Chains A and B, each alone.
Chain A
Amino acid sequence: MPYTFNKGSAEHRMYRLVGYGLLIVLMLIIPFILPEFQVTRLNRAMAMAVAILGLNLVLGFSGLFALCQSAFIALGAFTCGSLIMDHGWDYWMTIPAGMLMAFLIGLLLGIPALKIKGLYLAMSTVAFAAAFPSLTKLEFFGIPERTGGANGRDITEKLNPPDWMPIFDATEPGRYRYFLLAALALFAFWAVGNLINSRPGRAVISIRDNEIGAAVSGVELRRFKVLNFGLSAAIGGLAGVMWAMNSGFVAEQDYTFVLMVDLLVGLVVGGVATVSGAAIGAIVVVFGRWLVQTYFNYSMSAVIWLIAVVALAVYLARQQTTNQKKIITAAATLVVGWGVGLALFAAVDMPGLYQLNGDGPLSQAVFGIVLIGFVFFAPQGIVGSWRKLWTNVVQITPVPPALPDGAEILVKDMDAIHNSIQG
């Protein structure tokens, strides 16, 4: 039996308090448990989490296909790097500047594409995301000097712990950066969580659920779409500044379309249209890629071939009528498929079969498989599935809002009418 209580009751408040308290304690302890290089990785996960949050705002909550969050991260990061190096700004001053930059470019991209429905926004944003790394090398207005061009740019002024903070070792700045980034990330999550539960947030969600219905109910479609898109871009810019704060180095190779697909994987794995899913997804993506690169050293061609043969066997077997036929079909498909695979591998002399290489293509393929797998089998993501399971433990019953005074009189009148009809 699940433990049940009303929403807004004292128990519910206690439950929330304990939950958030545990989260804060965990976030305080973790950087001191993990080694420095993992803390740096965690910092990148936090930047990714904020970026996925922005992506979620536009893709998950308002259903618009803006697939260029990687470009907005890059805009934030490059703005941060250029302002610090060329104009002597401080890190914290570049946060609004990076967000504004991403917001403006987002508007420029969003206003024409949001005029029309369908996949046009997806097309233009994919093109923009794929093109952005090469745009940073464009020989106009001194862009390559600001962005560092193909070699990237080192921000020589790093974010190091000040002398009056003795907890942090000056040679290991990752922990100090962790706390700064965690504060920024918590702020972003708090802001977006509140936005979703506010009037504009509900307007945006209503556009996703039924555009015509939303327009009829008085939601200004254009304004909300464009502002939502711009806001998501600005959050992407914030993520970019966080990224630059963590690494102290900006280079166009970090912000390619691969990053965009990583963000999408994080979004889907964490849970589309959930706020906390962004954080979970980012951690899965960053640490998952590291795990795959370190520990997963099989030949990918063999793995993929095996998956394909097994899938074919299952598919063919399910079409048979009797169990005997099913087993024979599956076994025959496996034997023939694997035999063909062996012959093919032997004939082509593929290096992939012998040379086990985990760092490049393999992790990419695993991410692709994870993406498709989640879309098929768990479209609600980790957070969505977890919520479903958690209802077996704790259930929070929503309470209907209190009726205004006039409502009671109306109900009484209805009763009187009802009685008079019956009488």
Chain B
Amino acid sequence: MTLFLQRIIDGLQNGAIYSTVAIPMVLIFKATTLINFAQGELAMIGAFFAFVFAVQAFSMNVILATILAMILAAALGMAIERTMLRSFDPTDHLPVVLITLGVFYIVNAFAGDIWNYQAQGDVPNLLYELPFIGSWFEGRSSFLTSETNRLGLRIQHDSVGLIGALLIMLTALHFILNRTKMGLAFRGVSSNTESSRLVGIRVGRILSFGWGLACAFGALGAILVAPRITLQPNMMLTVLVYSLAAAAFGGLDSVGGAALGGFAVGLLNSVVLGYVADVDRLSSLTAAPLLMPVILLLVVLWFKPQGLFGTKTVERV
């Protein structure tokens, strides 16, 4: 029973990581109906921006560095959207898919060239630097010391923080999308681009906004998970597979669905693989066979192609 509970906890902990990449992916899909395969890499470079500000160059306060990195990542995402993707017809998938893969390649190589393909040491943990509650996290990050609580369970307080941060992110996104004028325009564009253009919404600006928002939140997610999955240029490669499955599971155009999908993938992975293949707990994130996400993707496509919370598209001739 303890083992089972432990696996559920592990699954939730890992699921939070997958959600952080799946949510921005869904945001970009909503805005432009394209799947951004470079999402993981853009988040990774955002985490490196924060690392540069906080450790390598300017020794900034981590919170300030995070905010700056989010702004920079948003600017990068907007620049990519404006210079590379805007001129293509989004319904013609081939060029846009190729371009996101090219961006994936270039960003990965760029980071690999500057920071090498090695895990960076002393990555600051954003959670420890938070006012009031930071010390609580710092005092109890008992993951590596394998300290267990009264029930015999190992709970990483980092992960509790990550899940909390995820909830805050979701609330913020909900607020931005449903309570602001920009969010209303965004939902309009995502529901019907041509009609939005006709009623006077500047579609280009909304696309930029969507990309900026997605990349900023992606960077925040990567900064939060970097201390756990190590900060290195390939940190998001496996996470990308899980989050593709998460996004498909939750429904490609549902932000909340993507978050839930991330947890579902994490749970499925840790519970099923834990009993079938006895994967080592520690390595279950980076070295585990990526079997479960592929199977999940196939099952979702077979039985419920639009995902749990996605909109079912109906095509008229």
Minimum CB–CB distance from B313 to chain A (whole Å) comes to 8
CB atoms of A368 and B103 under 8 A apart? yes
Tell which of A6-14, A175-183, A349-357, A389-397 binds the partner: A349-357
Cα–Cα distance between A379 and B89 once the two chains are bound (Å): 14
CB atoms of A135 and B289 under 8 A apart? yes
Per-residue B-contact encoding for A345-367, CB less than 8 Å = 1, 0 else: 00111111000010011101101
CB atoms of B83 and A349 under 8 A apart? no
Q: Which residues of A contact B116 (CB under 8 A)?
A: 351
Q: Is A124 an interface residue (CB 8 A)?
A: yes
CB atoms of A135 and B291 under 8 A apart? yes
A residues 357-403 with Cβ under 8 Å of B?
A: 357, 360-362, 364-365, 367-369, 371-372, 375-376, 379
Minimum CB–CB distance from B164 to chain A (whole Å) comes to 29
Minimum CB–CB distance from A140 to chain B (whole Å) comes to 8
B: contact size bracket: 35 or more
CB atoms of B113 and A361 under 8 A apart? yes
Chain A interface, number of residues (Cβ within 8 angstroms): 60
Q: Which residues of B contact A335 (CB under 8 A)?
A: none
A contact face: mostly helix, strand, loop, or mixed: helix
CB atoms of B294 and A131 under 8 A apart? yes
Q: Which residues of B contact A112 (CB under 8 A)?
A: 298, 301-302
Q: Which residues of A contact B240 (CB under 8 A)?
A: 130
Minimum CB–CB distance from A362 to chain B (whole Å) comes to 7
Given the contacts A123-B248, A372-B102, A63 and B110 also touching, CB distance less than 8 Å: no
Most-contacted residue by chain A among B84, B102, B108 (CB, 10 A): B102
Tell which of A43-51, A81-89, A114-122, A237-245 binds the partner: A114-122
Given the contacts A119-B93, A134-B290, A371-B105, A365 and B113 also touching, CB distance less than 8 Å: yes
| Residue of B94, B98, B99, B301 touching A63 (CB-CB under 8 A) | B94
Please give me the residue from chain B that is nearest to A267 by CB atom.
Answer: B98
Most-contacted residue by chain B among A115, A126, A362 (CB, 10 A): A126
Minimum CB–CB distance from A56 to chain B (whole Å) comes to 12
A residues 115-166 with Cβ under 8 Å of B?
A: 115-120, 122-124, 126-128, 130-131, 134-135, 137-140
Q: Is A276 an interface residue (CB 8 A)?
A: no
| In the A-B complex, the 10 residue pairs with the closest CB atoms | A368-B105, A131-B290, A365-B109, A361-B109, A368-B106, A361-B112, A112-B302, A372-B102, A371-B102, A364-B109
28 A-B contacts (beta carbon < 8 Å): A109-B298, A117-B315, A119-B35, A120-B248, A123-B35, A127-B293, A131-B293, A134-B288, A134-B289, A135-B289, A135-B291, A261-B105, A268-B98, A301-B114, A311-B83, A348-B52, A348-B57, A360-B109, A360-B113, A360-B117, A361-B110, A361-B117, A365-B110, A368-B103, A368-B104, A371-B105, A372-B106, A375-B99
| Chain B residues engaging chain A, CB cutoff 8 angstroms | 33-35, 37, 52, 56-58, 83-84, 93-95, 97-99, 101-106, 108-110, 112-117, 237-238, 240-241, 244-245, 247-248, 277, 287-291, 293-294, 297-298, 301-302, 305, 313, 315, 317
